[in-house]
Structure 1
Amino acid sequence: MTEADPHPEGALVLIAGAGRLPELVAESLRRARRPFRVIALRGFTGATLRASADATVDLLDLAATLKLLRRWGPAVVVPAGGVSRPSPAAILNAGAALRNREALRAIAGGGDDRLLRAAVTLVEEDGHRVVGVHEAAPDLLCPEGPIGRRIPDAEAAASIRAGRGVLDALSPYDLGQAVALAGDRILAVEGPEGTDRMLARARALGRRPFGFGRAMPATVLVKAPKVGQDRRIDLPAIGPRTVRNAAQAGCVGLALEAGGTLVIDRVATAAEADRLGLFVVGYGGTP
Structure 2
Amino acid sequence: MTGPVPQIDSPVGVIAGGGVLPFAVADALQTRTITPLLIGLRGFCDPNEIARFRHHWISIGQFGRLKRLLRTEHCRDVVFIGSLIRPALTSVRLDWGAFRVLPRVMAAYRGGDDHLLTSIGRIFEGEGFRLRGVKDVAPELLMPPGELTKAAPDTRHRADIAKGQAVLAALSPFDIGQAVIVIEGHVVAVEDIGGTDALLANLARLRGQGRIAAKPGRGVLVKAPKTGQDLRFDLPTLGPRTIEGVAAAGLAGVAVAAGNTLVAEPQAMIAAADKAGLFVTGVPA
- The C-alpha deviation readout for 1:191-213, integer Å capped at 9, x for no partner, is 110001011222344578479x6
Match of 1:254 in 2: 254
Aligned residue runs from structure 1 range 57-76, under 5 A: 57-73=58-74, 75-76=76-77
CA apart distance, 1:133:
1.3
Cα RMSD after superposing both structures: 2.5
Does the 8 A contact of 1:182 with 1:217 survive in 2?
A: no
Match of 2:134 in 1: 133
Match of 2:81 in 1: 80
Pick which of 166-175 and 233-242 moved more. 166-175
- The C-alpha deviation readout for 1:82-139, integer Å capped at 9, x for no partner, is 1111223224168787566445334332211111111100100000110111221100
Q: What is the identity, as a one-letter code, of the residue corresponding to 2:25?
A: V
Aligned residue runs from structure 1 range 191-210, under 5 A: 191-206=192-207, 209=210
CA apart distance, 1:184:
1.6
Match of 2:233 in 1: 233
Does the 8 A contact of 1:160 with 1:220 survive in 2?
A: yes
**TM-score, scaled to structure 1:** 0.89
Q: Which runs of 5+ in 1 are unaligned?
A: none
Does the 8 A contact of 2:64 with 2:96 survive in 1?
A: no
Once residues 235 and 258 of structure 1 are traced to their aligned partners in structure 2, the CA distance between those partners, rounded to angstroms, is 11
CA apart distance, 1:237:
0.5
Percent sequence identity over aligned pairs: 38
Q: 1:142 to 1:37 in 2, by over 3 A?
A: same
Q: 1:95 to 1:206 in 2, by over 3 A?
A: same
Once residues 185 and 104 of structure 2 are traced to their aligned partners in structure 1, the CA distance between those partners, rounded to angstroms, is 43
Q: Which runs of 5+ in 2 are unaligned?
A: none
Instruction: Name the SS for the 1:169 alignment partner.
Output: helix
CA apart distance, 1:11:
3.4
Does the 8 A contact of 2:62 with 2:94 survive in 1?
A: no
Once residues 280 and 233 of structure 1 are traced to their aligned partners in structure 2, the CA distance between those partners, rounded to angstroms, is 23
Q: What is the identity, as a one-letter code, of the residue corresponding to 2:23?
A: E
CA apart distance, 1:59:
1.8
Q: 1:9 to 1:97 in 2, by over 3 A?
A: closer
**TM-score, scaled to structure 2:** 0.90
Instruction: Name the SS for the 1:63 alignment partner.
Output: helix
CA apart distance, 1:34:
1.4
Does the 8 A contact of 1:74 with 1:127 survive in 2?
A: no
Does the 8 A contact of 1:183 with 1:216 survive in 2?
A: no
